Amino acid sequence: MVSRDAGTTRLEQLSKNIRIHILEQIYQAGSGHPGGSLSCADILAALYGYGLREGSEKSLPIDRDHVILSKGHAAPALYAALAAVDIIPREELRTLRQLGSRLQGHPDRSRLPQVEMSTGSLGQGLSVGVGLAWRIKTKGRRGRVYVVVGDGELNSGQVWEAIMLAGVLGLSNLVAIVDANEIQNDGPVASILDIRPYGPKFVAFGWAVRELDGHNLAELCDSLDWSRSQEGDAPRMLVAHTIKGRGVSFMEGKAEWHSHALSQEQYELAMEEVSGR
């Protein structure tokens, strides 16, 4: 994977490339989920550009690090990250949501084995992450499991069953990252089912918790280091506070951009903003 420099310049470029590829994919496809894809772009840049062990993707499954995108509607961000670190061909990004494409609207492992899990039915990814982390731990192997969940997804009861079980099992090789952008499909999370503050609830279930700015790459890297350095058997939870549609002014904080196509004018304006041209 891409290594972190003394600063975060290289990761910033990686994050910018992911955002550019997100917009290109969704514009080309004429549909998709830009808001939640853009909000987790920095999280995925930090994971694929810094957090995963060097050479991890070439190791046996039980020894390598894993990333599960539980909020599967943000698939364009995942595909963009995989392409940015040369796990899939960049030219393949143009096929998002096309018939026969490996890049479906939600990750499909049967088509694209480079993704860890077929996701899209919200609430399931963390449960699979618990099972995977448990198998790795009981075999005494090295692999770590990272699961990216949405804050709206925390409304799902299955997530809390997974949180409860992970704490009981002491899965210190499991890291859940909440993309807390405060907006879900139907509007603000706070007006639909407000379960904040998250931290004390996770702690009550036996997790070690850290809150951070999910768009600050240095802070993301520091938090990933923290998740590895913590002693004990507690699973790790990073609550990353983010902005829906981050990087595109007319999308930021807007529920209507959870799922939305871009006109040519909107696409050109958005690309100007994320590319800095």
Q: pLDDT tens digits, residue range 151-197?
A: 999 999 999 999 999 999 999 999 999 999 999 999 999 999 999 99
Q: In whole angstroms, what is the distance from residue 104 CA to residue 96 CA?
A: 6
Residue 59 is predicted with a pLDDT of 67
Average pLDDT on 218-238 reads: 95
What single letter denotes the amino acid at residue 6?
A
Which neighbouring-strand residues pair with 67? 146
Average pLDDT on 124-149 reads: 96
How much of the chain, in percent, has pLDDT values that exceed 90? 91
For residue 249, what are its two tokens?
């002014």
Domain range for residue 263?
Answer: 9-275
Confidence category of residue 6, pLDDT binned at 50, 70, 90: very low
Average pLDDT on 143-157 reads: 97
Does residue 2 lie within any of the structural domains?
no
Spatial CA neighbour of 183 closest among 175, 199, 194? 194
Instruction: Decide if pLDDT at 5 tops 90.
Output: no
CATH number reported for the structural domain that contains residue 203 in this entry: 3.40.50.970
Q: In whole angstroms, what is the distance from residue 21 CA to residue 90 CA?
A: 9
Q: How many domains does the chain have?
A: 1
**Residue 76 near residue 104 (C-beta atoms within 8 A):** no
What single letter denotes the amino acid at residue 104?
Q
Does residue 87 lie within any of the structural domains?
yes
3-state helix, strand, coil in the chain (%, to 5): 45, 10, 40
Alpha carbon of 26 to those of 19, 102, 243, 248, 249: distances in Å? Answer: 11, 15, 19, 14, 17
Which DSSP symbol is given to 179? E
Average pLDDT on 213-235 reads: 95
Q: Tell me: the pLDDT tens digits for 7-49? A: 579 999 999 999 999 999 999 999 999 999 999 999 999 999 9
**Residue 244 near residue 179 (C-beta atoms within 8 A):** no
Does residue 3 lie within any of the structural domains?
no
Does residue 216 lie within any of the structural domains?
yes
By residue count, the chain amounts to 277
Better pLDDT: 56 or 122: 122
Q: In whole angstroms, what is the distance from residue 125 CA to residue 72 CA?
A: 9
Does residue 143 lie within any of the structural domains?
yes
Q: What is the mean pLDDT of the chain?
A: 94
Confidence category of residue 230, pLDDT binned at 50, 70, 90: confident
Does residue 210 lie within any of the structural domains?
yes
Does residue 4 lie within any of the structural domains?
no
Better pLDDT: 227 or 5: 227
Does residue 259 lie within any of the structural domains?
yes
What single letter denotes the amino acid at residue 251?
M
Which DSSP symbol is given to 4? P
Q: In whole angstroms, what is the distance from residue 82 CA to residue 161 CA?
A: 30
Q: Tell me: the pLDDT tens digits for 41-87? A: 999 999 999 999 876 565 677 889 999 999 999 999 999 999 999 99
**Residue 210 near residue 238 (C-beta atoms within 8 A):** yes
